[in-house]
Amino acid sequence: MRPVTLYRLSRRSGTDRTGHHRPERLTVHTARGCIGAARKGVDTVHVYETTDRDGNSLHIAHVHQSFSYWNSGAFITEIYVIPTDALTDL
């Protein structure tokens, strides 16, 4: 079973440059905790069901945070790619 993959993008206010961070591997439990915490304190959280190129079921969680004191004026987008099989194995 594949672990969850997190893709994080950030953009500082007043610039056109977007920072792309290296994809991170997370466990399903860690990803669920991050997404659950994000639902309480960020601008938007969307979860989509889709399939990958091979037809495997995936859940995509899109978390968007806008400017705040704690993230130094950056707009941050986190994209969690979660295999549906990993969710059903819990």
Confidence band for 12, pLDDT divided at 50, 70 and 90: low
Res. 1: pLDDT tops 50: no
Predicted confidence (pLDDT) per residue in 49-60, tens digit: 999 889 989 998
Provide the terminal-to-terminal Cα distance of the chain, rounded to the nearest Å.
12
Mean pLDDT score, 63-71? 66
State the CB neighbour count (10 A cutoff) for residue 78: 22
Residue 69 has pLDDT above 50, yes or no: yes
| pLDDT tens track for 16-63 | 666 767 788 888 888 888 888 888 777 788 999 999 889 989 998 888
CA–CA distance, 46 with 79 (Å, rounded to integer): 10
